[in-house]
Structure 1
Amino acid sequence: MSTTRVHLLRAVNVGGATLPMARLREIAAGLGATDVSTYIASGNLLCRPPADPDGFDRALEQAIETEFGFFREVISRDPGELQAALDAHPFGTGPDLSDAPYGHIYFLAGTPEPELADAFVARDFGAGERLAVIGRDLHIDYPVGPGKSKLTAASIAKGLGVPGTGRNLRTVAKLIALAG
């Protein structure tokens, strides 16, 4: 039996890319997933995928593109991987996450090359962001919130050589609780 995984979709229900969560659940179930649920309308799908999680992610991407006409990466992690990423967040979290009110983890589709990661985290995006690449996760601290930053999905994908999708620390913690 497969375990619950969290499938994170990049940039849905923003910028005209509308994807109803009820339909996302139906698509996932149609692809063979069980125990399907979503959390908030930003593309957080929790389910037990069929035997091959990566194959399920690619099938989900294709089904969404076919039906809705836009491509969005699907990046999945199991609850242990999410917890490890949250535990590794280097910019303070505290037991209630209050130490990092604008902390985010940007889950990457792969592990960036070390040279790209080093160059990327050394860049200045103009709002005092602190960045760290740990494995296949980009950790971000936005001292004044993400709205003031010039750090974008496009700049991350170009700079690190892999796409991804970000979630704030509270959302990551909630997804861990729901998946566990």
Structure 2
Amino acid sequence: MPAYIALLRGINVSGQKLIKMVELKQMFEQMGFGRVQTYIQSGNVLFESEDSKAALRTRIEQRIQEVFGFDVTVVIRTVEQLEYITNHCPFEADPTSAVEKVYIALLAEEPSEVNIAKLLLCTSEIDEFQLSSSKLEVYILCRQSIRKSVFTNNFLEKKLGVAATTRNWQTMSKLTVLGKALTTES
């Protein structure tokens, strides 16, 4: 059975859109998904399903609204896509730096060529970004805090005209490991 990762946007941030991972896991299980597991409080759910990615996104977003009472954008990737994303990151943070970090913004859908062109015009003297070959991820190298970066999740959403959710490199790496374990245990 295909394995997926659902990445929820903007939950458990600053006391907003609070969802306990135990409750989120139960919701996924009640929806009939197999081998459900969550990772940290930012809303990362690994699971198995025969449904398509598009159908999964719609079903999960609707169910979150029904169960928790608020709208949450859900970004879906297969475990294989997640592995590809982490294996093809163009940046590597300096391991001796306390602040330099790599982030990956995962887009809910492919942006228009016009909006991609708008983003590509943006620059920073400090941070760098690169759009993935699939045009569904933006890799970000922050040489200072992400909070001080130009390339925040909200900035990317505004420029690209699509919803996104951002994860740090450590989270993406761990999700890849968990996803590989899920697929090898099947």
Give the structure-2-normalised TM-score.
Answer: 0.85
Q: Judge conservation of contact 1:102–1:143 (CA < 8 Å) in 2.
A: yes
Matches within 5 A, 1:29-178: 29-92=29-92, 98=95, 101-124=100-123, 128-134=126-132, 135=134, 136-178=136-178
| C-alpha distance in structure 2 between counterparts of 1:84 and 1:24, whole Å | 26
Percent identity over the alignment is 26
Q: Which moved more, 1:15-24 or 1:48-57?
A: 48-57
| C-alpha distance in structure 2 between counterparts of 1:130 and 1:117, whole Å | 15
| C-alpha distance in structure 2 between counterparts of 1:86 and 1:117, whole Å | 21
Q: CA RMSD in A?
A: 2.1
Q: Which moved more, 1:8-17 or 1:45-54?
A: 45-54
Shift of 1:119: 2.1
Shift of 1:103: 0.4
| C-alpha distance in structure 2 between counterparts of 1:39 and 1:109, whole Å | 20
Q: Judge conservation of contact 1:109–1:164 (CA < 8 Å) in 2.
A: yes
Distance 1:30 1:50, change over 3 A: farther
| C-alpha distance in structure 2 between counterparts of 1:112 and 1:56, whole Å | 20
SS of residue paired to 2:76? strand
Shift of 1:133: 1.1
Shift of 1:28: 0.6
| C-alpha distance in structure 2 between counterparts of 1:34 and 1:88, whole Å | 28
Shift of 1:142: 0.9
Q: Judge conservation of contact 2:105–2:153 (CA < 8 Å) in 1.
A: no
For these two proteins, the number of residue pairs brought into alignment is 175
Shift of 1:99: 8.3
Q: Which residue identity is paired with 1:14?
A: V
Q: Which residue identity is paired with 1:98?
A: P
Which runs of no fewer than 5 residues in structure 2 stay unpaired?
A: 181-186
| C-alpha distance in structure 2 between counterparts of 1:68 and 1:119, whole Å | 35
Give the structure-1-normalised TM-score.
Answer: 0.87
Q: Which moved more, 1:97-106 or 1:148-157?
A: 97-106
SS of residue paired to 1:170? helix
Which runs of no fewer than 5 residues in structure 1 stay unpaired?
A: none
Which residue matches 2:183? none
Distance 1:99 1:137, change over 3 A: farther
